[in-house]
Chains A and B, each alone.
Chain A
């Protein structure tokens, strides 16, 4: 057997310090954090109950209308309706609504935090040089690693599930907001400044509208990443379609896992199509100005 890697520092002390420190935070501030995030929990629960209360045909009609207004295609709309009917027919309607609620809430939070962060990042090269490696870490760190502190702070439940989802899904929207604003034609920005725009007018009248297609691509990616988190989030109490998959694993029921998995794929296809079509239309608007 080869030599073991020499143990030249004792990491136990360090690990104990981190664990104890974090336990101290949990003990002293756990309640505070939980109170702070109560509105988030209420938002998610309300959204979930609302979607589950809404008659299925109304939900299907709304999603069909959204798909049509984004894609302007009967084929895409028909596809979305068929996929939703399929999900309902398999008896997964309520689970699907719980998953959609988690995804929408997480995406909304990610967008509300991520777009301003991206805007700030676009203004400062210094901030960008710090933020980019951080975002890289967030995207490559295994998801389970940050589930641990969230579960410790809040216990298993919906809050850690949504926080972990936001944390995992937020990097694209930050990155692409930054990128989109930086890519706006410098002469157009210069022109509006030369005509006396304030920094706020510059942002709202030129930078954000022109960066919108790129920002929308970021929102789309964030939506997809939020959806991809549902199975993992179900392990800490998120419920929904992911929980069905988890039960499939625990009970070794291939059918349960497969059917719930297909339902997740269908949701991904529907929402990806809606978000992408909106992004494309924003781009078309810029290109030919219709």
Chain B
């Protein structure tokens, strides 16, 4: 990886909470354990010797349980929290050396943030919230409004611009938070457990939306989560943090199949592949025919190329699978966004089921397809 690909460099960052940080730091560097430091100086070690780099345009997930220091760490990137020691370089520039004015300019244009409980201004409308970044930058109001409307459309909130945050659901509020962060047009996006407060369905919608947006905008995203499935789903690379120390940095595959130590191994052992994979990652798209079109000759011809054919009759869909004799039969169906695990029960009863998208049947899923998808995911890298 060449040097120019590094967007953010975290260089030996320490954070110590308490009244005697210098003493605690000296002891830590001399090799003392956190418990010993707490005993002798009364200081709590928040982060210890954090060292890694983040590439331009990647989604970097920092993953840890509560108390691991992940929320402390993410607040170092825009200096909401100051480190006790160490440097953070953004585009080669040490942000710790910025004075108050430079820091404010950096926060306005270089980096933006999405918060766990949204952090929206309750007394301002969705649009006002969205354009708060550009307004602080000094962009004139007309331009800011145009920019804000564009972002709101991007996150699917067009028409809600004059509502107030309390009038929206949690998922919609977080989309406002996302639109607000995007409106500053900063390259770096910090997301502090951005989806953790949302219910599971909304959460997976938001994850897909973030992936879509990221595919278009290519920001450098630092995403904090305590949810390993989310980390694996979103992250190009993942850092595992425990008790303020970095345990492993790597791609999802590396973390899953080459865990660096016992802690990471115990962590990933719990990953349920049937929940980390979705029906749309396993199924096969097949043709749809109406009852009139489904002549035996036509069906047979299509079955030569496809594992099955969907026959729509009286608003219901039936499946004609290859090798099954004669008639199309009604079978169970499941949404393409369902986890693979949810397909197991119907697949236990039938060899093949229909996969729907928005209520319309688009393909089929067999026991073999489901099994192969699991095998693909579980294959060591």
Chain A residues at the B interface, C-beta cutoff of 8 Å: 185, 187-188, 190-198, 201, 205-206, 209-210, 285-290
Contacts and interface: CB of A to CB of B under 8 A. Distances in A.
Nearest to A206: B121
B121 A190 contact: no
B201 interface: no
A193 B107 contact: yes
Contacts of B48: none
Interface string B96-122: 000000001111110111011111111
Contact of B123 (A194, A195, A289): A289
B236 to A, nearest CB: 23
B136 interface: yes
B163 interface: yes
A47 B106 CA distance: 50
Contacts of A290: 164
B80 interface: yes
Interface string B142-174: 000000000000000000000111110000000
Interface of B: 78, 80, 104-109, 111-113, 115-123, 125, 132-133, 136-137, 163-167, 180, 184, 190
Most buried by B among A188, A289, A290: A289
A289 B164 CA distance: 5
Contacts of A188: 119-122
A284 to B, nearest CB: 11
Contact of B121 (A192, A193, A198): A192
A192 B80 CA distance: 11
A198 B104 contact: yes
Given A190-B115, A191-B115, A201-B136, A288 B164 contact: yes
A286 B107 contact: no
A194 B104 contact: no
A242 B240 CA distance: 72
B113 A194 contact: yes
B108 A286 contact: no
Given A209-B123, A287-B166, A288-B167, A195 B133 contact: yes
Nearest to A187: B119
A185 B120 CA distance: 10
A186 to B, nearest CB: 9
Nearest to B101: A198
A123 B311 CA distance: 70
Contact of B166 (A190, A191, A288): A288
Contacts of A289: 122-123, 125, 163-167
B122 A194 contact: no
A152 B133 CA distance: 56
A196 B115 contact: no
Contacts of A286: 122-123
Contacts of A201: 136
Nearest to B133: A195
Contacts of B106: 196
Q: Which 4 A-B pairs have the closest CB atoms?
A: A289-B164, A191-B119, A196-B108, A196-B107
A77 B108 CA distance: 48
Contacts of B163: 289
A195 B132 contact: yes
Nearest to A205: B121
A193 B132 CA distance: 11
A206 B180 CA distance: 16
A25 B107 CA distance: 53
Contacts of B117: 185, 187
A210 B122 contact: yes
A256 B119 CA distance: 58
Contact of A195 (B118, B136, B164, B165): B136
Contacts of B109: 196
Nearest to A191: B119
Given A190-B80, A196-B105, A197-B104, 19 more contacts: A185-B117, A185-B119, A187-B115, A188-B119, A190-B119, A191-B113, A191-B115, A191-B121, A192-B121, A194-B80, A194-B190, A196-B106, A196-B108, A205-B121, A285-B123, A288-B167, A289-B164, A289-B165, A289-B167
Contacts of A209: 121, 123
A195 B122 contact: no
B184 A195 contact: yes
A190 to B, nearest CB: 6
Contacts of B125: 289
A60 B115 CA distance: 50
Among A190, A195, A209, max chain B CB count under 10 A is at: A195
A279 to B, nearest CB: 15
A284 B165 CA distance: 14
A196 B104 contact: yes
B120 A194 contact: no
B219 to A, nearest CB: 16
Most buried by A among B104, B166, B190: B104
Nearest to A189: B119
A211 to B, nearest CB: 11
Contact of A191 (B120, B123, B137, B167): B120
Nearest to A212: B123
Contacts of B190: 194
B170 to A, nearest CB: 14
B120 A192 contact: no
A282 to B, nearest CB: 9
A197 to B, nearest CB: 6
A290 B166 CA distance: 10
A190 B114 CA distance: 11
Contacts of A194: 78, 80, 107, 111-113, 190
Contacts of B118: 187
A104 B106 CA distance: 46
A198 B104 CA distance: 7
B107, B121, B125 interface centre (most CB from chain A within 10 Å): B121
Most buried by A among B108, B111, B119: B119
